[in-house]
Structure 1
Amino acid sequence: MMPRITKIKLALAVATLALSGHTAVAQSEKPGVEKLYIMNCGEGVAGDIGRWSPGVNEGQSMDFVDTCYLIKHSQGWFLWDTGIPDAVAAMPNGLAPADPKAVTWKRPKTLAAQLEQIGVKPADIKAMGVSHTHPDHIGNVEMFPQATLYVQKAEYDWPGANNEPRFKPSHPVELLTGDKDVFGDGSITVLSTPGHTPGHQSLLVKLPKTGAVVLSGDAVHFKSNWENRRVPVNNVSKDQSVASMQKIADTLDKEKGQLWINHDKAQRDSQKMSPEFYD
């Protein structure tokens, strides 16, 4: 017969082995971001980019892009910005602005079609955030009526045209008053970056292989504005805009991250677009 002390040692060894096995499984199923897809959410031409870079390139036109980001997190799908309304895809001449200096937008690919291409239904989106409430960023919010919307309270309360609310009152929403760790694991963090609008926000995403990325929203519109800290004329606060750009720069330094600029065509042309993804 096996001595009692030997039985105890054997039981302890088996328990230790089982525990280490569970640890290995847990480590192989780490929580966090798994994939990030870049979606084409609009293409357009600005009539005069001087409004975005005062005193520079006045009267010059410029190609713009509009970008959305779909993030697969271990706890569910998260969508950042929703772009130009999908309905614009049916407009052969695009969506012309009231101000000829602004952007005429077209929608070569719908958001719905790009989601379908990777097998994601609108109902699969668990949560979403918008950088701010300008029309080229909230055009398809109501395609996801079940998704919790993360938005700064200052933005949510900001009166729209004719004092209309900027979102349907029935849409589930989490109102923020600063930064927010969305899933509680540090992998997706909303950064409060006011200035372009009262409650503008950007997004810090930590990918396992790509590393840290900050999605700019409209805290900055293109690379030269970032490098020269230029503030568009139509921002609500120049001081807040400059402070927010510094906050993003500090975040990039701390996280050794890269900045992805929403409207910068040259940068987006160099990136992998959905159905390819970053991990």
Structure 2
Amino acid sequence: VAVRAVAWLLLWEAAGFTCSPATTFNNTHFVAGKGATCSEIILRQEVLKDGFHRDLLTKVKFGESIEDLQTCRLLIKQYIPTGLFVDPYELASLRERNITEAVMVSENFNIEAPNYLSKESEVLIYARQDSQCIDCFQAFLPVHYRYHRPHIKDGETFIVVHNPDLLMYCDQEFPVLKCWAQSKVTAPCALNSKDICQWNNMKYKSVYKNLTLQVPVGLTIHTSLVCSVTLLISILCSTWILVAVFKYGHFSL
């Protein structure tokens, strides 16, 4: 029995399957430490509400404990496609009520233009820490559908919202930032600040490749009917207003 046991040990050692307990612990600790340090940032975007007026909700979850990143701020640079628009006056009202911290970047922005006459715009959203998740941030942005050209057959079209840029600025450097940071981007340090900071453009993993929205559009075969009914209603309403003015109005020379 002793001879067989020694023979098996020699065979296992020759095959390279044996290792000391200390070596096993060190290797496991190294792999676990590397996984914890370079864990992924998960980003999830979803659209709330129905109809032409929606809310774009962005959630960011860090694989690391956020306790070491309390001095960091998170900024989302969202690209708005031509099929959507963000109302800057609505954003100003929401900022006054402390509902969101978002500001338009694009200038000469027309909220009434249809999608085929508009351009892509940009919005900066300063994310807030989620009260229900210690290592999570979230950002809220109201978006609205633009009018699209009528189609010949299909009564719907699709809008693709590409993933945003995720920017982070920390008052002090952390080793974990080396796993996430890709490049430097200049942006205001805070919403109401004129100071410019060098933000880290972070790499992350998105739950969805891109967000796709479905928009109903009119049909070209209904053009004559819609124009006729609209013109008829306009004439009737105008006539009714004129009759009321001449009947109940008071004129003085």
Fold match, TM over 0.5? no
TM-score after normalising by structure 1:
0.27
TM-score after normalising by structure 2:
0.29
Larger radius of gyration: 2
Q: Which is bigger in relative contact order (C-alpha 8 A, separation at least 6)?
A: 2
Higher percent of residues as strand: 2
